[in-house]
Structure 1
Amino acid sequence: MDFFPFFLSFIFIILHLLGQRFVQGEVDIQRHHHHHKEPITKLFVFGDSYADTGNIKRGFAPSWKHPYGVTFPGKPAGRFSDGRVLTDYIAKYLKVKSPASYRIRKHLAPHHLKNGMSFAFGGTGVFETLNPGPNMTTQINFFQKAIQDKVFTASDIRKSVALVSVAGNDYTRYTVTNGSIQGLPSFILSVVNQTIRNVIRIKELGVKKVIISNLQPVGCLPSVTASSSFKECNETSNNLLVAYHNTLLTEAVTKLNQQLNDNSSLPFIVLDLYDSFMSVLKHPSTHNIKNELEPCCVGVSSKYFCGSVVEKVKKYTVCENPKSAFFWDLVHPTDAGWRAVYTRLRITNAFKEIHY
């Protein structure tokens, strides 16, 4: 997931499109009013590498190669980190175990599915991306099929929460494919509109609440800050691309909740990754983090990445203490990074709404 710098001329294109309205979806949302608190027993996950806990097959991603997983569970397990990812921390908050990966569902006994299921695949987006994994529409198809096959009952779904993670792979494909930012604001609008259609569909399948992450500060990712020797974020990317996406997403989700008119609960919740990431990056010492922008694991040159091995020779280096770094590789946080983000998220009013 490589992000390109965005130029100030982008402002004028954005301003031109600020008045555009969102497509809220063509499906009427069923209005389930739960005025009593029901226990949440399952977590269903859709999205990309920020949420993937092992859906990509071995050999198809660095997440299955050493040193990924060195902190948790002690070996590569398909997570794009040295340890836990966003899914694991959301599950912790819900007091359930991390849900099983969709990829291994046929090899699991029914009791292994009692915590839900993760349909998230690293590198994917709401549309087709540069990676071959199933986009979010297809992931929801998998979920619907599991319901139709009675893998999960109506009661299971009613007591569940869904996590939707969109970390920017759609924008990577757009910039790589088009070679410029021409038309990007319109594309951002289409990404948000499709995300809204997706979350409406998940809710229609009976899920109690849907949590949607906004975009993290992509201008602070090591893939971008490498140009400044990992010294500073690219504020142009953060203030334009990310701010526009997040504004549209928040407004669209607010409208959805207003349409439901359920004063007892918020069916759709925006998880503010941007604010949480920035809070940690601006005050790293609060979370015992010393290296906030420099990745812990990095290729020895631009042609190699974390986990690269050529003729049995490691082509990457790993920092001495991953627990002191926020980023694990060029895109993904460390276990410590995600824990710090989770600590920030827990105190937000929106996050507290998950349980109600």
Structure 2
Amino acid sequence: MMKKLLSKSHFYHASLLLFICFFILTAAVKNHSPDRENNGGSGQKLLLFVFGDSYADTGNKMKANASSWKPPYGSTFPGKPSGRFSDGRVLTDFLAKHVGVKSPIPYRWMKKKGSRARLEDGVNFAYGGTGVFDTLVAEPNMTSQIRSFRRLVHDSVFNQSQVQSSGVFFVTLAGNDYSAFLAKGGTPQGLPAFISSVVNQLAVNLKFLYDHGARKVGVTSLEPLGCLPRVTVHSSFRECNTSQNVAVNVHNQLLQEAVERLNNQTNSSTFVLLDLYSTFTRVIEQKNVAPGSMVFQTPLKPCCMGTSDEHYCGSVDENGAKLYTVCSDPNAAFFWDGAHPTQAGWASVYSSLKPTLQQMLA
């Protein structure tokens, strides 16, 4: 009888131990998130430094000059305008999550009280509407943004060894240089030479980042400009403009060659191309989409648009009355306005970029 009780007691203890081990293992698996713990295998917390335009801006652009600070922007996240050119999160936010940090503080906010504590995640230098050269907005172009980063390193806000070991750099270029070129009287005949100058300057900027410690750099290709709603509106959002996309492909081919040259010159795979052209195209055409990508029924049609050609998302009249319409479900739309994806759209793009991001962080 005693032997049976001991045997039974041993069984209960063994079962309890097994349950505890299972619980701990389950909790560990549950709490492990590959999107929050990608630190390149070093175990060291990473820093995210962001440069570029409205595809990356999370609040740098001045409130008086930007629709991103007006309703209905930010209606999905954080529930009010936050300086993001979307209904919610933009690509920077998804990349920050992937790197394992909070979305870095916008550079313009650094003078605010308590902002120094936010520097542990990095800094976002991107301003909506900018390019590698001066465009149609007064905000700092990419070269100026990188100089601001250099000043922070020079002033020991970040040291170069810290930047080299922990820094992840994200650079976007969404095409504002080309819009400005045409708006300032540039001709189609002069476009090929201008494309070369844009890519060359972008390569100079990337090399400058390398010279100041950057060792993990993701740079976006140009998205299919001919598929943006401000272009497809002329076909009632049914088809892309192939002529514009031909020019985009010239830019992207030159950029790919420039990135390959930089990697050869620096004897490393420091620079990684984040292919927005292919990711946008796959989502729009619903072909070979990545796991986690949504299916958008009318991907070329924006969720938010002006009530006439003269108005845009966020427009109001002198009495504050809305001169725009918003779709009932932003999560069902790929594009938010005439040029920018919704939060759901960026989530789908991010899903497609994940393998490349893993390569960058390896």
TM-score, length-normalised on structure 1?
A: 0.86
Give the Cα–Cα distance (whole angstroms) in 1 for the partners of residues 266 and 106 of structure 2: 31
SS of aligned partner of 1:114: helix
Please tell me whether the aligned partners of residues 160 and 212 of structure 2 are also in contact (alpha carbons under 8 angstroms). no
Deviation at 1:179, TM superposition (A): 5.0
Counterpart in the other structure of 1:296:
303
For 2:242, the aligned partner's letter is: E
Deviation string, structure 1 residues 191-242 (Cα, Å, up to 9, x no partner) = 000000001101111122111101000000001101101000111211x211
Please say which structure displays the higher CA radius of gyration: 2
Residues 1:252 and 2:258 aligned together: yes
- Confirm whether residue 148 of structure 1 aligns to residue 134 of structure 2: no
User: Counterpart of 2:49 in 1: which secondary structure?
Assistant: strand
Alignment partner of 1:134 is 2:140: yes
CA contact (8 A) 1:40 1:160 kept: no
Partner of 1:104: 109
Give the letter for the 1:253 counterpart: V
Cα distance in 2, alignment partners of residues 164 and 254 from structure 1:
16
Cross-structure match for 1:230? 237
Structure 1 segments (4+ residues) deviating >4 Å: 35-38
Give the aligned partner of residue 12 of structure 1.
none
1:169 maps to 2:172:
no
Distance 2:275 2:295 in 1: 22
* Alignment root-mean-square deviation, CA: 1.6
SS in 2 for 1:353: helix
Indicate the larger mover: 205-214 or 147-156.
147-156
* Match 1:320 to one of 325, 328, 333: 328
Q: Which digits, 9 at most, give the CA deviation of each residue in 1:35-86, with x for residues without a partner?
A: 9846351100100000000001212100000000001111000000000111
What's the counterpart of residue 282 of structure 1? 285
Equivalence for 2:96: 91
Q: Which residue does the alignment assign to 2:130?
A: 124
> Which structure: greater helix fraction?
2
Report if aligned partners of 2:283, 2:295 keep a CA contact under 8 Å in 1: no
Instruction: Measure the CA separation in 1 of the matches of 2:88 and 2:161.
Output: 32
The structure, 1 or 2, with the larger RCO (C-alpha pairs under 8 Å, 6+ apart) is 1
Contact 2:216 2:361 in 1 (8 A): no
1:314 aligned counterpart, secondary structure: coil
Contact 1:40–1:161 (CA under 8 A) maintained in structure 2: no
The residue that corresponds to 1:11 in the other structure is none
The match for 1:28 is: none
CA distance in structure 2 between the partners assigned to 1:153 and 1:109 by the alignment: 18
Give the paired residue count: 316
Distance 1:308 1:259, change over 3 A: same
Instruction: Look up the SS of the partner of 1:352 in the other structure.
Output: helix
SS at match of 1:277: helix
Q: Which amino acid aligns with 1:323?
A: N
Matching of residue 329 in structure 1 with residue 329 in structure 2: no
Q: Residue in 1 aligned with 2:206? A: 199
Structure 1 SS opposite 2:188: coil
TM superposition shift of 1:243: 0.5
Unaligned runs of 5+ in 2: 1-39
Q: Which one is further off, 319-328 or 138-147?
A: 138-147
**Identity of counterpart residues, as a percentage?**
49
Matched-pair contact (CA < 8 Å) for 2:262–2:271: yes
CA distance in 2, matches of 1:78, 1:177: 27
Q: 2-side partners of 1:146 and 1:76: how far apart?
A: 28
CA–CA separation in structure 2 for the residues paired with 1:229 and 1:250: 33
Q: After superposition, where does 1:62-77 map in structure 2 within 5 Å? A: 62-77=67-82
1:258-296 residue CA offsets vs partner (Å, 9 max, x unmatched)? 22223xxx1011100000111111118961322300010
1:305 partner amino acid: Y
The residue aligned with 1:306 is 313
